[in-house]
Structure 1
Amino acid sequence: MTKPYPLQFQPEFKERVWGGRALEQFGWDIPEGAIGEGWMIADHPNGTTSVIGGELDGQSLDQLRETLGRDWFGTRGVSETNGRFPLLIKLLDCNDDLSVQVHPTDDYEGLPQGELGKTEMWYVLDAKPGAKIIYGLKEGVTRESLAEAIRNNQIMDDLQEVPVEAGDTFYIPAGTVHALCAGVLVAEIQQNSDTTYRLYDYDRPGLDGKPRELHIEDSLNVIAYQGAGATTMKTDDLSAGQWLTLATSPYFIVEKGIVDGSWNLSTLPESFTILVVASGEGSISWNDGSVPLKGGQCFLLPANLGEYTLNGSCTVIRSYLP
């Protein structure tokens, strides 16, 4: 029987009209073109990642879910809705502005068959001077006034713009209008969903030279006009060896920690743990071995791994199921 060990996956890289080449800085061999997304840990029809290294080398996340089950993934580690791994972990290189968009909740009747809603959060890994994002509607915007603004090509007047710096975090519940903008590199922890409704895309052509599809009616239907509980915070003031909670949702809990030396930790039987290495380098050691880690890497720690130690000098983002 395979003993549990930290799993790293070969990312699925996605070309996007707004992408660039920034993910190369993490040492990944990314394909040619404008690469906007690295799906780092994924179990979705549009992208599934496979293990790099160890006894399970080459096996895909959906295979592991089927064969290893709740011992490895935790008693809460499989989606009750569609049977898949419940989270999707991405790195996003925003060389240009993303479309203005919104995601539905799980109960939206317009969802594709078998698809979930999409609540997500961002941790900003890097941001160029003056970088910003779109984060919510201005106060007082209603469905009617937003629909009129869209008809008049004035939607940008109704949106909140927020400056961003490395270390900022943004919790984005389903129903929150948002868009990453040029010059931002982020880690994204989200529900395992690929459903996005676009409100506006700057009248630009897609990769095929044609305008990308907009989803105005679905967007207007799912927007939370009174707010959905979106929150943001700065995370600079954090000492080594303690966890700062960045986001708490029905779908994930996300925390930030700084490793300086050795930090003894443990997984829980209820949930796998995901570690995104935001910066720095070091290693993960456990009862049966040790693996190096560095910025841009993502690891899935099985629920039955038990005690492990983070060593070195690095910043990590930890996610698990509530």
Structure 2
Amino acid sequence: MKPYPLQFKAEMKERVWGGRALEQFGLELPEGRIGEGWMIGDHPNGTTRVVNGELAGLGLDEVRERLGKTWFGTKGFSEKNGRFPLLIKLLDCEDDLSVQVHPSDSYERLPAGELGKTEMWYILDAKPGAKIIYGLEPGVTRDSLAAAIADGRIMDCLQEVSVEAGDSFYIPAGTVHALCSGVLVAEIQQNSDTTYRLYDYNRPGLDGKPRELHIEDSLNVIAYEGSGATRMKTNVSQPNEWLTLAQSPYFVTQKGLVNGSWALETTPESFTIIIVCSGSGTIGWDGGRLDAQAGQCFLLPATLGAYTLEGDNMTVLRSMVP
């Protein structure tokens, strides 16, 4: 079988903080508050299925089992559990997310077979005045944070950052963070669904009961001296050049502005994930062409080789395993 770019049917997740904004991308949403669209996933809590080409109908896990390193590359799988190493999401934050933190791969209390979670956010859209929580205030220690939690003063320990479309945030494991209301986000992350909640605004969950907090685990995994988190504005004026947004042991993510035709190539080491952030165009390769619209995500096999992005001011993110 000749390699070709894979598209998937997104798995939609209802969240107490979600809304309906993902409908603007032409995605099919079930009823309810849809906070997460898992666009490319190979996880027990959500596995996306191919919708195009010869592999249509297969889950990403089945593609992995059938084609393995041939299509995903020599680095295109998790050494720990053998699964596809990344999880790609679109997030619609109509309300604030819980204040949370993620563990690293080495945390001894991780669920069996689960990875840690380093991630990054790219802000697709933000309402005026939108913000996020991004890290602790300087000088906060485990003891002072624990005392603040006990006294109901946790918000005094957290940094708030104003955001706008085009902002990028790298969030290594151990970074306290929370998206807040009014943002639409593309998320690239390790293939993990482990989140430790520090605070959830004392609100009920979808079942009417308070959601579980994980204070001890959170205090254990926070990087009090700094996690290496970085943020940046990502204005790109020069077309057909890559701007690196995040470079981690788990993924490298770059932003590009496609104007005209841009000749590119995959490598034998890793698959390539393309997320279309705005605009429209096409992805062409030896054997076909696909339309590319805002909100769509594509998995390009490592063995695809030469491919072409074409568009008129189409903004894309490109992610690979380093």
Structure 1 and Structure 2 fold alike (TM over 0.5): yes
1:198 equivalent in structure 2: 197
2:316 equivalent in structure 1: 316
2:137 equivalent in structure 1: 138
- Post-superposition CA distance 1:97-156 (Å, at most 9, x none): 000000000000110000000000000000000000000000000000000000000000
Output the CA distance in 2 between the equivalents of 1:15 and 1:290: 33
- Post-superposition CA distance 1:65-120 (Å, at most 9, x none): 01011110000111110010000000000000000000000000110000000000
Q: Are 1:76 and 2:75 counterparts?
A: yes
Q: Are 1:214 and 2:209 counterparts?
A: no
2:179 equivalent in structure 1: 180
Report the Cα offset of residue 239 of structure 1: 1.1
- Post-superposition CA distance 1:239-277 (Å, at most 9, x none): 101000000000000000000110000000000000000
Output the CA distance in 2 between the equivalents of 1:53 and 1:170: 32
| 1:96-135 → structure 2 map (5 Å cutoff) | 96-135=95-134
- Post-superposition CA distance 1:170-199 (Å, at most 9, x none): 000000000000000000000000000000
Report the Cα offset of residue 312 of structure 1: 1.1
Output the CA distance in 1 between the equivalents of 2:146 and 2:28: 43
SS in 2 for 1:96: coil
SS in 2 for 1:19: strand
Output the CA distance in 1 between the equivalents of 2:128 and 2:301: 38
User: Does structure 1 retain, via aligned residues, the 8 Å contact 2:236–2:256?
Assistant: no
1:31 equivalent in structure 2: 30
Output the CA distance in 2 between the equivalents of 1:85 and 1:196: 19
The one-letter amino acid paired with 1:97 is D
User: Does structure 2 retain, via aligned residues, the 8 Å contact 1:238–1:244?
Assistant: no
Root mean square deviation, CA, Å: 0.5
Q: Are 1:233 and 2:232 counterparts?
A: yes
Output the CA distance in 1 between the equivalents of 2:111 and 2:263: 43
2:282 equivalent in structure 1: 283
Output the CA distance in 1 between the equivalents of 2:269 and 2:28: 34
Q: TM-score, normalised by structure 1?
A: 0.99
User: Does structure 1 retain, via aligned residues, the 8 Å contact 2:123–2:183?
Assistant: yes
Output the CA distance in 1 between the equivalents of 2:36 and 2:236: 29
User: Does structure 1 retain, via aligned residues, the 8 Å contact 2:236–2:257?
Assistant: no
Matched residue pairs, number?
321
Report the Cα offset of residue 238 of structure 1: 3.4
Output the CA distance in 1 between the equivalents of 2:240 and 2:211: 45
- Post-superposition CA distance 1:203-259 (Å, at most 9, x none): 000000000000000000000001110000001143101000000000000000000
The one-letter amino acid paired with 1:102 is V
Output the CA distance in 1 between the equivalents of 2:136 and 2:238: 34
Output the CA distance in 2 between the equivalents of 1:271 and 1:72: 8
1:257 equivalent in structure 2: 256
Identical-residue share of aligned pairs (%): 74
User: Does structure 2 retain, via aligned residues, the 8 Å contact 1:205–1:211?
Assistant: yes
Output the CA distance in 1 between the equivalents of 2:32 and 2:184: 17
1:18 equivalent in structure 2: 17
Unaligned runs of 5+ in 2: none
Report the Cα offset of residue 29 of structure 1: 1.1
The one-letter amino acid paired with 2:128 is P
Output the CA distance in 2 between the equivalents of 1:190 and 1:321: 11
Output the CA distance in 2 between the equivalents of 1:186 and 1:280: 16
Q: TM-score, normalised by structure 2?
A: 0.99
Output the CA distance in 2 between the equivalents of 1:291 and 1:159: 44
SS in 2 for 1:7: coil
Runs of 4+ in 1 over 4 A off after TM superposition: none
Unaligned runs of 5+ in 1: none
